[in-house]
C-alpha cells in the first residue's frame, strides 16, 4: 500500500537536496565570475602599462625585446588563468553532483537488484 508519509518525506528530501545543489552552483559561478573579472582587470592594466613603456622606447631592438617579453608573460598568465578556471569548473561540477551521489547509488543498487531478481526468475 502507498505510504503518504514516506512519499512526503522523500519529496521533502529531494527538494532540500535540489535547493542545496542550486545554492552551491550559484556560489561557484559567482566565484568564477569574480576570478574572471579580476583577471580581465589585471590583464588590461598590464597591457596599458606595457604600451606606456613601449611608447618610451628609443630603439627598435629594445622595442622588440620588450614586446617579446610582454607576449611571453601575457601568454603564461593566460594559460595559468585558464588552468585555474578549468579547475574551478571541475570543482563546481563535483560539488553540484555531490548531493545526488547517495540517491543515485541507492537507485542503481535497487535497479540492479531488481534486474537480478527478474533475470533469475
pLDDT digits (tens, 9 = 90+) for 28-79: 999 999 999 999 999 999 999 999 999 999 999 999 999 999 999 999 999 9
Q: Is the pLDDT of residue 100 over 80?
A: no
| Residues 116 and 33: beta-carbon distance below 8 Å | no
Q: Is the pLDDT of residue 97 over 80?
A: yes
- Ordered by start, the domain boundaries in the chain are 4-119
| Dihedral angle computed from the Cα positions of residues 21, 27, 28 and 34, in that order, rounded to the nearest 10 degrees | 170
pLDDT of residue 121: 64
Predicted structure pTM score? 0.72
16-22, long-range: CB within 8 Å, 24+ apart, which pairs? 17/99, 17/100, 17/103, 18/99, 20/99, 21/96, 21/99, 21/100
Amino acid at each position: 500500500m502507498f505510504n503518504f508519509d514516506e512519499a512526503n518525506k522523500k519529496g521533502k528530501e529531494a527538494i532540500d537536496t535540489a535547493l542545496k545543489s542550486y545554492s552551491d552552483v550559484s556560489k561557484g559561478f559567482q566565484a568564477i565570475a569574480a576570478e574572471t573579472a579580476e583577471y580581465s582587470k589585471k590583464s588590461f592594466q598590464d597591457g596599458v602599462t606595457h604600451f606606456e613603456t613601449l611608447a618610451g622606447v628609443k630603439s627598435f631592438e629594445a622595442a622588440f625585446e620588450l614586446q617579446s617579453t610582454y607576449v611571453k608573460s601575457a601568454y603564461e598568465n593566460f594559460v595559468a588563468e585558464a588552468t585555474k578556471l578549468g579547475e574551478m569548473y571541475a570543482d563546481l561540477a563535483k560539488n553540484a553532483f555531490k548531493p545526488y551521489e547517495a540517491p543515485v547509488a541507492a537507485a542503481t543498487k535497487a535497479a540492479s537488484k531488481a534486474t537480478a531478481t527478474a533475470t533469475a526468475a
